[in-house]
């Protein structure tokens, strides 16, 4: 546990986001808690991640999320890992929300030199029907800029995608 690599997550702290300033100390090694000397708030190392308040190894969570990303059925994961289906769905939801927040912060809030963007839509079939996904990619870097989902393939779908990028 190196407190030099950690920063205070408290929004009201003047030292928020600053690493290597010497303001973070170890509060409890057993619980992996840190304390900020400026605002005197304690926090865990997992604050702001999908692992926050989970009582299982982060490696297991990452294996499950990776399997879900590759299309493994939830029932197979439940059987293989001995987990509850609601737990797997919760981890999936946490990972999705976290990835969306990171994407919004790192990609959507950054000014990019969009010389050439390629957009396309695909039809996704489900048991109860289908929907459309419109996606955009920056050609020069192959960075996914964003995507939107709609039941209808129409101007509103494309407008939502262009508003996103």
CB within 8 Å of 145: residues ≥ 6 apart? 107, 112, 114, 117, 136, 137, 138, 164, 165
More confident residue, 91 or 140: 91
Q: Which of 45, 41, 32 is nearest to 6 (CA)?
A: 45
Average pLDDT on 131-146 reads 90
Per-residue pLDDT tens digits for 34-81: 888 888 888 887 887 888 888 888 899 999 999 999 999 999 999 999
Q: What is the mean pLDDT of the chain?
A: 87
At residue 131, the pLDDT reads 93
Kindly state the average pLDDT of the residues 126-151: 90
């Amino acid at each position: 546990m190196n407190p030099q690599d950690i920063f205070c997550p408290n929004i009201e702290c003047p030292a928020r986001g600053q690493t290597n300033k010497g303001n973070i100390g170890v509060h409890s090694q057993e619980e992996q808690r840190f304390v900020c000397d400026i605002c005197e708030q304690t926090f865990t190392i997992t604050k702001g991640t999908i692992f926050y308040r989970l009582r299982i190894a982060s490696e297991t969570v990452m294996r499950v999320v990776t399997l879900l990303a590759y299309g493994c059925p939830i029932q197979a994961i439940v059987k293989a890992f001995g987990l509850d289906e609601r737990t797997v769905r919760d981890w999936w939801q946490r990972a999705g929300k976290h990835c969306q927040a990171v994407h919004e912060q790192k990609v959507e809030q950054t000014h990019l030199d969009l010389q050439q963007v390629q957009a396309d839509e695909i039809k996704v079939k489900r048991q109860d029907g289908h929907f459309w996904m419109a996606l955009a990619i920056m050609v020069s870097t192959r960075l996914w800029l964003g995507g939107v989902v709609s039941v209808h393939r129409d101007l509103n779908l494309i407008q939502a995608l262009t508003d996103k990028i």
